[in-house]
Chain A
Amino acid sequence: MTCLPEIRPGQKKLGLVIDLDTCVGCHACATNCKEWNASGHSGPLPDFKPFSAGAEGVWFNRVHSYEAGEGGEGRTVHFPRSCLHCETPDCVTVCPTGASYKRAEDGIVLVNHDTCIGCGLCAWACPYGAREMDEDEGVMKKCTLCVDRIYNETIPEAQRQPACVLTCPTRARHFGDLGDPDSAVSRLVAERGGTGLMPELGYGPVNRYLPPRRTTSVDPGPQEDAPTPLDVKNPLLRWMDKVLSR
């Protein structure tokens, strides 16, 4: 059914919180996502010309890098982009077959690959570019929030998290229930002022992005009159200066 589940108060809203302050843009999340999902619920994921020029395939997570702000305030921000498991997403309601659906119990947005006709309309309806057509199988694929890990009783409990979250070397990714105001992820969002993307379109994205922390003071640069090591002629003093300024 592609009508959206009714929104109840206290609704469980599983999602990701991504810390743009600590993300180093290493692409580990994207790589581990591909690794897990190529053989999971949505597998296989196609790769065309994998070993030559023009290599491309379906990925559920893409890591962009941006430059934001000007001059001393400017900074590089790495930005992983994946499905935000929106609360009122048109990617679900436009689907003519009912293959695209949002689960009432936890809010995860999934595609039923057995009924999808591969019309591609849901990908047009997603503002965030979170859906990619599997042109091998002729059906739409997208992030499943690792639905086949998070409830998987055959793996140790500590591993029942999305693959991207587990693999992140800087712990920039967090997973939890954003519908519960007391959950660890909700508290993190409140503390850091996490934001949703393109709120103006009204999709109600669930995932949150934690903004890069403000640098407290901009480094004024070297002082003109402070002696630099090259200004100190006496070798003993030069050595002492080097040791002391370590």
Chain B
Amino acid sequence: MNPAPSIVLFTTASGAGYGMLFWLGLLRPLGLVPQGVAFGLIALGLAVFLITIGLLSSMAHLGHPERAWRALSQWRSSWLSREGVAAVATFLPILLLGLGLILGWGALTHLFGLLAAAGAVATVYCTGMIYASLKPIRQWRHPLVVPGYLMLSSFSGATILAMTAAYWGQAWAPALLAALGAAGAFWVKQSYWRDIDGPAPADAPTIESATGLGAIGRTRPLEPPHTETNYLLREMGFRIARKHAQRLRRVALLGGFAVPLALAVLALLAGGTLWPVLLLSLATSCALLGLLAERWLMFAEATHTVTLYYTGR
């Protein structure tokens, strides 16, 4: 599948934003992040900024962005529509959380924070389900795709929240979560890659079932239907060379997860404000770069059944 930059940016940025919102909403009532108004507003502002650039970037992917509001209508059947509804609905508790912080609503602010956290989980879950529900794409139907989306979002969100909290010298809780998230993300992605590298399941479609010619025997393409490319080949036929994929996997695993894990642990051990700020800023940059590589691969390594018709594979 073609890794469109707008979609790669969307899942990375919005994913991190929702993860940050989730942890902010959850940790603030527990007193595990700085309690002041300034921290609350800055962290919330950063999360909303990430969410919004992601959503805007995903709209740039549309043929008719001005009609995007229509996408809220089919939540009964469509995960993309549900994602849109969840994303829009989450802005309400975000707004109330912001107001509560400014006007000092106390316990009510905590309630809105928790609601925003729930909205964040719902939105990221819907994003994962958009991919996990596509039957023609074997690598996306995988049971680890939705947990992967949730895990990566919570990991990157915790990392950015930890970086922000470090300026207040109170980063230990989000930094610990970032370290745990990095370990979880490492494990999820490694298991996922090991699985999709294995042979296709026995009931996976083949060129024989795609053409119905299996009764005659082994089938292979002889002449293509067109000599130039087309939308299908550009969108669904995109494939990455194995050796590039391996290199990018290493970038994601080491740069994206292992290095931030180590930096978060160092930040936990280091005292004061300066070192945690530096270490966690570096962790954030690595995590985001690694995630861009991982999101890109998520598309580039996925194969669609339409290529059976063109290449037999």
Interface residues of A (CB under 8 A from B): 1-4, 20, 25, 30, 53-59, 62-70, 73-77, 79, 81, 90, 92-99, 115-121, 123-129, 132-135, 137-139, 195-203, 209, 211-212
Contacts and interface: CB of A to CB of B under 8 A. Distances in A.
Contacts of B197: none
Given A64-B223, A115-B70, A202 B135 contact: yes
B129 to A, nearest CB: 10
Contacts of B223: 25, 64-65
Contact of B64 (A20, A79, A94, A116): A116
Contacts of B62: 117-119, 138
B218 A121 contact: no
B73 A209 contact: no
Interface of B: 1, 61-65, 67-68, 70-74, 76-81, 84, 130, 133-137, 203, 205, 207, 209-213, 215-226, 228-232, 235-236, 304-306, 309-310
Given A129-B309, A201-B136, A117 B70 contact: yes
A201 to B, nearest CB: 5
Contacts, number: 211
Given A116-B64, A125-B135, 5 more contacts: A1-B74, A95-B80, A119-B80, A120-B235, A197-B210
Contacts of B209: 197-200
Given A129-B309, A133-B231, A209-B212, A139 B79 contact: no
Given A115-B67, A117-B63, A202-B135, A63 B218 contact: no
Contacts of B67: 97, 115-117
A68 B305 CA distance: 19
A-B CB proximity, top 5 nearest: A118-B63, A138-B63, A129-B306, A69-B217, A96-B81
B148 to A, nearest CB: 18
A203 B210 CA distance: 12
Contact of B78 (A73, A96, A129): A96
Contacts of A199: 209
B92 to A, nearest CB: 20
B205 A66 contact: no
